[in-house]
Structure formats: structure tokens, C-alpha cells
């Protein structure tokens, strides 16, 4: 990993941040409930994979640079197809509330 981070031009301390954040996001996405944390996990992983694509593309890694985009596509599909009960937005209007 040290060599890979050097190749991409990443600072080495980022390994520690990503080494904690990515597994934590995975756990949050797998656990039931935690709707707000799930939104943050989806956002964080989306950002990480987008930046991974850019870093690999700029480092000249060829077709391997597109692997993070494939993972991002799966993440987006997961986000868009999750049940309404797992969405952060309320599924119904509060009682006594009128639109407008």
C-alpha cells in the first residue's frame, strides 16, 4: 500500500484515514437503521471512489483506473434501489401538515 500511495501521489497518512473510514462505512451500510449515518457513508464512499478514479487516471494506470467507477456504479444502484423505509426523507407528510 505504501508503494501504491506513492505511485498515486497520496500522502501516507491518508492510508490511516481511509483504513478506518472505509471499513466503518461498510459496517454502517450493512447494519439496519442508522439512516443519517448511511447517507454520510454513501457520500463518503462516493467521494473516495470518484477520487480514486481520478488519481489512477492521472497516474496513467490505463483501464485499471475504471475499476473504481464500476464500484461507484454499484454503489449508486444500491442507493437508488433502497427501500423507502431506509431513505432519509420521510415517506408521508406529518399529520396536520398541509403542502404549500
In a domain, 48, yes or no: yes
Among 30, 72, 81, CA closest to 38? 30
Among 40, 1, 48, CA closest to 22? 48
The pLDDT value recorded for residue 85 is 72
In a domain, 33, yes or no: yes
For 65, the grid coordinates are 483506473
Number of domains in the chain: 1
In a domain, 78, yes or no: yes
In this predicted structure, the answer to whether residue 88 has a pLDDT above a threshold of 80 is: no
In this predicted structure, the answer to whether residue 39 has a pLDDT above a threshold of 90 is: yes
pLDDT, average across residues 67-78: 95
In a domain, 76, yes or no: yes
In a domain, 17, yes or no: no
In a domain, 87, yes or no: no
Instruction: Encode pLDDT of 45-67 as tens digits.
Output: 999 999 999 999 999 999 889 99
In a domain, 94, yes or no: no
Domain coverage including residue 39? 2-8+22-82
In a domain, 74, yes or no: yes
The pLDDT value recorded for residue 33 is 85
pTM of the prediction?
Answer: 0.76
For 35, the grid coordinates are 439512516
Amino acid at each position: 500500500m505504501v508503494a501504491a500511495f506513492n505511485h498515486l501521489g497520496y500522502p501516507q497518512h491518508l492510508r490511516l484515514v481511509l483504513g478506518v473510514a472505509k471499513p466503518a462505512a461498510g459496517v454502517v451500510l450493512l447494519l439496519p437503521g442508522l439512516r443519517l449515518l448511511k447517507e454520510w457513508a454513501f457520500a463518503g464512499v462516493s467521494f473516495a471512489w470518484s477520487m480514486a478514479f481520478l488519481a489512477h487516471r492521472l497516474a496513467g494506470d490505463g483501464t485499471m483506473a475504471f475499476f473504481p467507477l464500476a464500484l461507484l456504479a454499484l454503489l449508486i444502484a444500491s442507493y437508488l434501489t433502497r427501500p423507502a423505509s431506509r431513505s432519509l426523507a420521510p415517506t408521508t407528510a406529518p399529520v396536520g401538515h398541509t403542502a404549500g
